[in-house]
């Protein structure tokens, strides 16, 4: 499952949303940053900017969590690599600042 956190006034978010809409329904979930869905989102603490993309494997483990715009091919290919550990999530987040 690919989860994409977007904001209504972000041009990059609109670009990522357009890419996601080319994928199959059920392959992704769009979450508006300003919504109650985001307020109750369990991983909202790792979201520091938008668009923010979280890719999970079939077991719900996070494979990738990054800000930016990604192609459908890039996102589908994430599950082929090793899972991202919590340490890597933190390191990736800090290094992107």
- Mean pLDDT, consecutive 10-residue stretches, the chain (97 aa), reads 94 95 91 95 94 92 93 81 53 48
Give the DSSP H/E element, type plus range, for residue 41: none
The pLDDT value given to residue 97: 43
pLDDT at 15: 96
Sheet holding 2-6, edge to edge: 28-32, 2-6, 52-56, 62-67
Q: What are the structural domains of the chain?
A: 2-95 (3.40.30.10)
Question: What is the value of pTM for the model shown?
Answer: 0.77
How do beta strands 2-6 and 28-32 pair?
parallel
pLDDT of residue 75: 85
Burial class (CB in 10 A: 0-12, 13-18, 19+), 88: middle
Computed over its alpha carbons, how large is the radius of gyration of the chain?
Answer: 13
């Amino acid at each position: 499952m690919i989860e994409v956190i977007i904001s209504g006034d972000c041009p990059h978010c609109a670009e990522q949303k357009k890419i996601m809409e080319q994928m199959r329904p059920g392959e992704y979930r769009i979450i508006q940053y300003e919504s109650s869905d985001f307020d109750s989102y369990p991983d909202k603490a790792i979201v520091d900017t938008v668009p923010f993309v979280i890719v999970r494997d079939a077991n719900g483990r996070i494979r990738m969590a990054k800000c930016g715009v990604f192609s459908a091919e890039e996102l589908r290919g994430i599950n082929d690599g090793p899972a991202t550990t919590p340490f890597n999530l933190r390191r990736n987040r800090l290094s992107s600042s």
